Structure 1
Amino acid sequence: MCKLGKAWELNREGMQACNNGDFRKAEDNLKAAIGMSQCKSKKIHRATLHNNLAVVLQMSGKVDEAVHAYDLAIGFLNPDHKGQAALIERFESKRDALKQKLAA
Structure 2
Amino acid sequence: MCGFSQVWQLSREGMEACNKGDFFTAENNLRTAIALAKCKSKKIHRATMYNNLGVVYQMSGKVQDALEAYSTAVGFLDPGHDGQANLIRRISSKIDGLKQQTAA
Give the TM-score band, short-chain normalised: over 0.9
- CA contact 2:4–2:40 (8 Å) conserved in 1: no
TM-score, length of structure 2 as denominator length: 0.97
- CA contact 1:44–1:76 (8 Å) conserved in 2: yes
Q: Structure 2, unaligned stretches of length 5 or more?
A: none
- Alpha-carbon shift at residue 40 of structure 1 (Å): 2.8
Partner of 1:41, secondary structure, is coil
1:50 aligns with 2:50: yes
The separation in 2 between residues aligned to 1:82 and 1:13, in whole angstroms, is 29
The sequence identity of aligned pairs, in percent, is 62
- Deviating runs (4+, > 4 A) in structure 1? none
1:8 aligns with 2:8: yes
- What do the CA deviations read for 1:3-37 (whole angstroms, capped 9, x no partner)? 32111100010011011110110011001101011
Q: Structure 1, unaligned stretches of length 5 or more?
A: none
TM-score, length of structure 1 as denominator length: 0.97
The separation in 2 between residues aligned to 1:40 and 1:8, in whole angstroms, is 12
Q: Which residue of 1 aligns with 2:88?
A: 88
Aligned Cα root-mean-square deviation (Å): 0.8
Q: Which residue of 1 aligns with 2:98?
A: 98
Partner of 1:27, secondary structure, is helix
- CA contact 1:50–1:73 (8 Å) conserved in 2: yes
The separation in 1 between residues aligned to 2:14 and 2:23, in whole angstroms, is 8
